[in-house]
Amino acid sequence: MIFDIDFFKSINDTFGHLQGDRVIRGVATVASENLRDIDIIGRYGGEEFCVLLPDTDCRAAVIVAERLRRAIDQNRMDIKGQLISITISAGVAEMREDMQDPEELIKLAYCAL
């Protein structure tokens, strides 16, 4: 799965990069709290994250993505005295035996995003 924080540039432009970094850390924390111990999450770049979901098919990954979306949306963040809701968009893909390298999986998930 790949997900990114919606309208992140607007957050940086409105509240500044330090607050944007707080949002990234907050999203990472909420996402980590809503994943299994065997799942792996990492920042892919900017406001994008990759999540590896071992032993999870595409249908189940969509359910996980929706759970993350709801959890992050419900976790309002106080930024300079304003409570804001953070939303994400996600794309999922399933590893296939014919894939030559991980970049193919990332590309599929990114296209689904």
Active site residues: 47
Cα separation, 88 vs 69, in Å, equals 6
The 3 state secondary structure assigned to 54-89 is CCCCHHHHHHHHHHHHHHHHHCCEEECCEEECCCEE
Determine the 3-state secondary structure of 27 from DSSP: helix
